[in-house]
């Protein structure tokens, strides 16, 4: 009875998504009572391209697929939250060869799977580029025959397993075209399943840095309405892959949330607070434009990161404030350059008023960004009239367990390290550095942590901009 109810619903869902252009999905599943598209990763794809293609924020993909923390792999299946509004806009893809996908069982080896599917271990490794884990799906071969499916459906009320091929044919009353859909109901085990396949090159199994779905820079999309009386700042939050923390399990437990949510709270709060007085701030994370997500993913797909020497802006608000302060003190107290004088001057948090927000004293290498796309600055200048670009490159959370202030109360020191870069409208980098925030507390509630620390992080970065009236 349950099957009779569930199958028609899933069939209708698959037909709708097929007509909407989701032709490269391999099925549908239900996670936490929500429908998700199952999407197989092709060579050359990036998480940003998939996010753009399906109109799903990176944070949602990471929440649903924690294994994405380790990067994408060819043949990997990604569960994508189903959103009818965005799915209707997914571009149709050309027909591809069919592929066989095998769900790995406990005890499986590449040798055994290769023998079962009449292939070689070398070919399997080239097609999948991953270690075997029970429950994951791997590519085992290709065929040019019509798609067929043999699906094992587990009855939710019994332990009996039945093999049920489910194929349905529907007619679109508008276009008068017929669509044949192979249905993969939720909570099923598939061994094997024939689906539209990625064109996998055995010569280059690893993913490249360029997404197959990277949006072009010659399409400005939705025009942005900016304030012509002010200068504009475009804020780029840190890439979720460039967040490193040893405290998220503990913070997530105390905050009663998923581990990936902790990162997103830091990311969104810092992004929101990156505002400078006198400037108009343009946010792409949760921005007002309908294509803000697309533009943010364009940025992530157009940059690279490496360690660089710090660049200090002598015309920044911080530099001018330091110079003004130095002019009112004795030469003994104001000796040295302005940057040395600012070390340790940003202080305070709810639990320890003496905690310091420092720039590293050695001003050594920081993790900086490099723009690789030659059309980058032209595109964002035309669309947003950007005067300054503020990049948050990397965010680190480190706990000093050895220097515990009170072990009984778990009162210890955490250090937040923020790496940032600032460019002007011409593409010239005017600032770039890292600074550390020391936080002595037994508090593990994420919203209190960000309240105590993130506002001053944002202010520190915004102080590297020149005054808004500077020419």
Please list the pLDDT of the chain residue by residue as tens digits (471 residues): 554 444 444 444 444 444 444 546 777 788 887 888 889 888 778 888 889 888 889 889 988 898 888 888 888 899 998 877 666 566 555 444 566 778 889 888 888 888 888 888 877 776 665 677 788 777 787 665 444 333 332 333 333 333 333 444 444 443 344 333 333 333 333 333 333 333 333 333 333 333 444 456 777 778 888 888 999 999 999 999 999 999 999 999 999 999 999 999 999 999 999 999 899 999 999 888 888 999 999 999 899 999 999 998 888 888 777 776 665 554 444 444 333 333 333 333 333 433 444 433 444 689 999 999 889 999 999 999 999 999 999 999 998 877 666 656 667 789 999 999 999 999 999 999 999 999 988 788 999 999 999 999 999 999 999 998 876
Q: Residue with structure tokens 């996998």?
A: 200
Give the integer Cα–Cα distance in Å for 43 and 216. 19
What is the spatial distance between Cα 401 and Cα 246, in angstroms, rounded to a whole number?
11
Cis, bond preceding 192 (omega within 30 deg of 0): yes
Q: Which residues make Cβ contacts (< 8 Å) with residue 382, sequence separation at least 6?
A: 220
Alpha-carbon distance 98 to 455, whole Å? 52
Beginning with the edge strand found earlier in the chain, give each strand of the sheet holding 77-81 in spatial order.
25-31, 34-40, 77-81
In whole angstroms, what is the distance from residue 293 CA to residue 48 CA? 10
Tokens of 427: 């593409």
Q: Residues 6 or more apart from 100 whose CB is under 8 A from it?
A: 117, 139, 140, 141, 142, 143, 192, 193, 194
Other CB atoms within 10 Å distance of the CB of residue 165 = 10
Give the pLDDT of residue 351: 39
Sign of CA dihedral 397, 402, 405, 410: positive
Residues for the chain: how many in total? 471
H/E segment holding residue 84: helix 84-87
What number of other Cβ atoms are within 10 A of residue 105's Cβ? 13
Tell me the CA distances in angstroms from 314 to 323, 328, 431, one per residue in order: 10, 19, 9
| Of 146, 136, 132, nearest in space to 194 by CA | 146
Interacting residues of 290 by C-beta distance below 8 A, sequence separation 6+? 222
Please give the Cα distance from 276 to 313 (Å, whole number).
16
pLDDT at residue 213 in the model: 47
Q: Which ranges in the chain are annotated with CATH 3.10.350.10?
A: 2-196
Asked if 380 and 232 count as a contact pair (C-beta separation under 8 A), the reply is no
Residue 193 and residue 33 in contact, taking contact as beta carbons nearer than 8 Å: no
- How many other CB atoms are found less than 10 A from the CB of residue 309? 11
In this prediction, residue 295 carries a pLDDT of 92
Note the pLDDT of residue 430. Answer: 95
pLDDT at position 130 is: 63
Asked if residues 47 and 26 have their Cβ atoms less than 8 Å apart, the reply is no
pLDDT for res 99: 65
Q: Which residues contact 213 (CB under 8 A, 6 or more apart)?
A: 45, 49, 50, 52, 53
Pull the structure tokens for residue 253.
Answer: 């437990």
Backbone angles phi, psi at 219, to 5 degrees: -115, 110
- Fold exhibited by the domain 2-196: Membrane-bound Lytic Murein Transglycosylase D; Chain A (3.10.350)
Q: Could you write out the three-class secondary structure of 278-325?
A: CEEEEECCCCCCCCHHHHHHHHHCCEEEEEECCECCCCCHHHHHHHHH
C-alpha 461/C-alpha 395 separation (Å) is: 13
Q: How wide is the angle at C-alpha 382 spanned by C-alphas 376 and 383, nearest 5°? A: 90
Q: How many C-alpha atoms does 96 have within 13 Å on its Cβ side? A: 19
**Which residues are CB-contacts of 331 (< 8 A; sequence separation ≥ 6)?**
none
* CA nearest neighbour of 181 among 1, 28, 2: 28
Please enumerate in sequence order all residues whose Cβ is within 8 A of that of 335, keeping only pairs 6 or more positions apart, or say none. Answer: none
Those residues with Cβ within 8 angstroms of residue 436's Cβ, 6 or more apart along the chain or in another chain: 357, 358, 359, 360, 415, 416, 417
């Amino acid at each position: 009875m349950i099957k009779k109810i569930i199958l028609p619903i899933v069939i209708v869902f698959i037909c709708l998504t097929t007509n909407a252009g989701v032709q490269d999905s391999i099925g549908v599943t239900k996670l936490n009572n929500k429908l998700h598209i199952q999407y197989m990763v092709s060579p050359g794809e990036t998480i940003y391209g998939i996010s753009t293609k399906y109109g799903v924020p990176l944070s949602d993909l990471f929440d649903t697929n924690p294994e994405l923390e380790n990067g994408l792999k060819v043949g990997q299946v990604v569960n994508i939250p189903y959103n009818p509004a965005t799915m209707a806009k997914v571009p149709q893809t050309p027909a591809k060869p069919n592929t066989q996908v095998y769900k790995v069982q406990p005890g499986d080896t590449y040798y055994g799977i290769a023998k079962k599917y009449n292939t070689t271990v070398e070919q399997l490794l080239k097609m999948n580029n991953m270690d075997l884990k029970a429950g994951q799906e791997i590519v085992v071969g290709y065929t040019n025959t019509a798609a067929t499916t043999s699906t094992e459906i587990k009855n939710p009320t019994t332990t009996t397993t039945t093999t049920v091929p489910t194929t349905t044919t529907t007619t679109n009353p508008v276009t008068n075209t017929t669509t044949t859909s192979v249905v993969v109901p939720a909570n099923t085990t598939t061994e094997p399943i024939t689906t539209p396949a990625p064109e996998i090159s055995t010569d280059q199994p690893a993913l490249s840095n360029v997404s197959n779905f990277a949006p072009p820079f010659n399409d400005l999309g939705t025009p942005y309405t900016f304030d012509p009386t002010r200068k504009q700042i475009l804020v780029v939050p840190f890439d979720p892959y460039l967040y490193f923390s040893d405290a998220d399990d503990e913070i997530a437990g105390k905050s009663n949330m998923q581990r990936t949510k902790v990162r997103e709270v830091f990311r969104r709060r810092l992004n929101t607070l990156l505002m400078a007085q006198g400037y108009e701030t343009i946010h792409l994370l949760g921005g007002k434009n309908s294509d803000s997500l697309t533009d943010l993913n364009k940025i992530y797909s157009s940059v690279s990161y490496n360690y660089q020497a710090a660049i200090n802006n002598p015309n920044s608000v911080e530099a001018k404030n330091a110079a003004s302060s130095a002019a009112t003190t004795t030469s003994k107290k104001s000796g040295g350059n302005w940057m040395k004088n600012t070390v340790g001057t940003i202080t305070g948090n709810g639990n320890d008023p003496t905690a310091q927000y420092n720039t590293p004293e050695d001003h050594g290498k920081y993790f900086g960004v490099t723009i690789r796309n030659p059309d980058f600055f032209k595109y964002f200048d035309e669309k947003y009239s950007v005067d300054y670009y503020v990049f948050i490159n990397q965010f680190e959370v480190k706990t000093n367990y050895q220097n515990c202030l009170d072990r009984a109360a778990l009162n210890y020191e955490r250090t937040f390290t923020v790496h940032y870069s600032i460019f002007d409208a011409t593409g010239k980098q005017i600032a770039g550095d890292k600074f550390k925030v020391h936080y002595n507390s037994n508090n593990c509630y994420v919203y209190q942590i960000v309240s105590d620390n993130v506002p001053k992080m944002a202010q520190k970065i915004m102080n590297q901009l020149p005054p808004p009236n500077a020419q």
